[in-house]
Amino acid sequence: MFSTVKDTTNHAKETMTSEGGLSDAASAYRTKKEQVADAVNESKRDLQDAKGNLKEATHNVADIAHRAGEQIRDIADQVRDYASRASHDVQGYADTMSTKIRRSPLQYVGVAAVAGLLIGRLLGRSRR
């Protein structure tokens, strides 16, 4: 009915000066005062609810971010471990091959030559 406190006050003054007199104005003032107090209390409750919801949402987001960070750290550790093992395996294989080639180089040159001829024939046929 009234949008501001000023409107309520003006209405109370008008009521006081009209036929109803002082008791009607006081009653209207008390009614409006109670309505304003109720509206303020309701707004306060709404703000407290919003504050609680915001705290809960912030906590949830922080928890999700923490778990995601842990998972990323675990994955990075796994990748690092896998890369280390793969590097070690490849180095071991290269060392083994190097030793074998040094012991009998002609055998491996022959194998490489035969493999090169076979690959050359296969590629030559596919171009025709």
The DSSP string of 25-82 is: HHHHHHHHHHHHHHHHHHHHHHHHHHHHHHHHHHHHHHHHHHHHHHHHHHHHHHHHHH
| pLDDT tens column, 20-68 | 555 766 787 888 888 888 888 999 999 999 999 999 999 999 999 999 9
2: pLDDT confidence band, cut at 50, 70 and 90?
Answer: very low
Question: Is this prediction's pTM over 0.85?
Answer: no
Q: What pLDDT does 28 receive?
A: 78
To the nearest 10 degrees (0 to 180), the angle between helices 21-103 and 105-127 is: 120
Q: Residue 5 pLDDT more than 70?
A: no
Q: Residue 76 pLDDT more than 60?
A: yes
Mean pLDDT of 79-90: 94
- Where do the structural domains in the chain lie, given as residue ranges? 5-127
d(CA 109, CA 117): 12
